Amino acid sequence: MIAFPSPNFSDRRGGALPSLIVIHYTAMASCAEARARLCAPEHEVSAHWLVSEAGQAEALVPEALRAWHAGAGAWAGITDVNSHSIGIELANTGSQPFPEPQMAALEDLLRGIMARWQIAPQGVIGHSDMAPLRKSDPGARFDWRRLARQGLSIWPADVAAAPAEAFLPALRYFGYPEAPPEALLTAFRLRFRPTARGPLDSIDAGMACALARRFAVDDAPVPA
């Protein structure tokens, strides 16, 4: 790990501690280009970590501070996601696979962050999860199931077909923010059914209900 300090940070508001990890892709041609942007004061964007295609993890902002990576959005009722999260940028154009060295480095990084801040696997989310109207990263090529097999994220289990009308309530119980149904379906499929096409179906609803049953927001009613 090496450090390229970014000036783009502030204090976490209200004494918040990280309970989320947000995974991004840089959507830029190279890691060096992404690093330059994340460390340039005039752009006012940053992340805590940048992981290169070769698997080099670069520290940009101390984890105890508030990096400017998430922008507008929400997750599990949290609207100031920057104050409650750690942001990880993966050097990737958005149209290419994530190389094995990069994924292995990400996994090591996640293990350390989750242990340091006691972040649960359901707290590891994509930028598209918390901002479904604006973002699509880390995208359909990102292997969420691989992370889940190692306890570094989550995946629906014991899935049974469910009526389509259960889909949106289940997403809210799981943590997704308010957004138009088509935007939520797109975000959900990017993460859990990247090859699915067409209208909402009983498999989408069943997967969403399985997630809600296991990982519902505290005190929320859980669909049957």
Active-site annotation holds for 89? yes
The CA-based angle 110-105-143, given to 5 degrees, is 75
Adjacent-strand bridge partners of 22:
87, 125
Which pairs with CB-CB distance under 8 Å and at least 24 residues apart come from 131-134? 131/70, 131/71, 131/72, 131/73, 132/73, 132/176, 132/177, 132/179, 132/183, 132/184, 132/186, 132/187, 133/179, 133/180, 133/183, 134/71, 134/72, 134/73
Tokens of 35: 């690093």
Which residues fall within 8 angstroms of residue 171, CB to CB, at 6 or more apart? Answer: 184, 188, 208, 212
Is-contact 73 54, C-beta < 8 A?
A: no
Q: Which phi and psi (to 5°) does residue 50 adopt?
A: -125, 130
Both tokens of 151, joined, read 């306890």
| Angle (CA) 23 25 28, round 5° | 160
Catalytic residue among 89, 107, 178, 182: 89
Residues with catalytic roles: 89
